Structure 1
């Protein structure tokens, strides 16, 4: 029997590593429900503040970001988020991400009521990209990142990882 395509790959192509980038916690106003639209059920979260911390960068999330959510027919929610962040040394950069959240209906209902649920009881992932000016943080422009999230009462928190 011949080896599978996966087994025939060089070792660097058989796994993927990550490095913690930062944890970000967002404060959001109550969700604005637009409702049923021709495409889906639309909600918008307005981000008022937040903070992020990691070994290589830390700072605050500026007021004015937004999270355009699409609640799909299968019960999952997709995210389209745009944020502006400022590092502790004053550098401003952007973070945009798409994501998806889904899980058992009872867990999602409890989550949306603001109840505490086990983060492991549902799926909440995101894929951020960054735009940073030339200088100390321009390396962010060349990073592929992934994150895993949880919805707290005040807003979401994400652990963001650089893909190596």
Structure 2
């Protein structure tokens, strides 16, 4: 679940594929930074908003990329037109 600036909550169901070498996987598990160019991290989020003005989120297809950092996971979603 994410909350938008206007207070609308959006449910996110995200299917992802992340591929990393054993060395990089161990670095991630130990909380150490990894060069994101060395990790394949792609996703396909399905979004569902709680208010009508954001219905287009449920009616659109998205793809995304991600990176894992020591302080969290960062995702970027892109709408497919």
Structures share a fold, TM > 0.5? yes
CA positional deviation for 1:134: 4.1
Q: How many correspondences in the alignment?
A: 81
TM-score, normalised relative to structure 2: 0.90
Structure 2 spans left out of the alignment, 5+ residues: none
Q: Pick the aligned partner of 1:158 from 67, 71, 75.
A: 75
Matched with 1:149 is: 66
CA positional deviation for 1:138: 0.8
Q: Pick the aligned partner of 1:126 from 33, 39, 43.
A: 43
TM-score, normalised relative to structure 1: 0.47
Higher relative contact order (CA 8 A, sep 6+): 2
Matched with 1:54 is: none
Q: Which has the larger radius of gyration?
A: 1
Structure 1 spans left out of the alignment, 5+ residues: 1-83
**Structure (1/2) with the larger helix percentage:** 2
Superposition misfits of 4+ residues, deviation over 2 angstroms: none
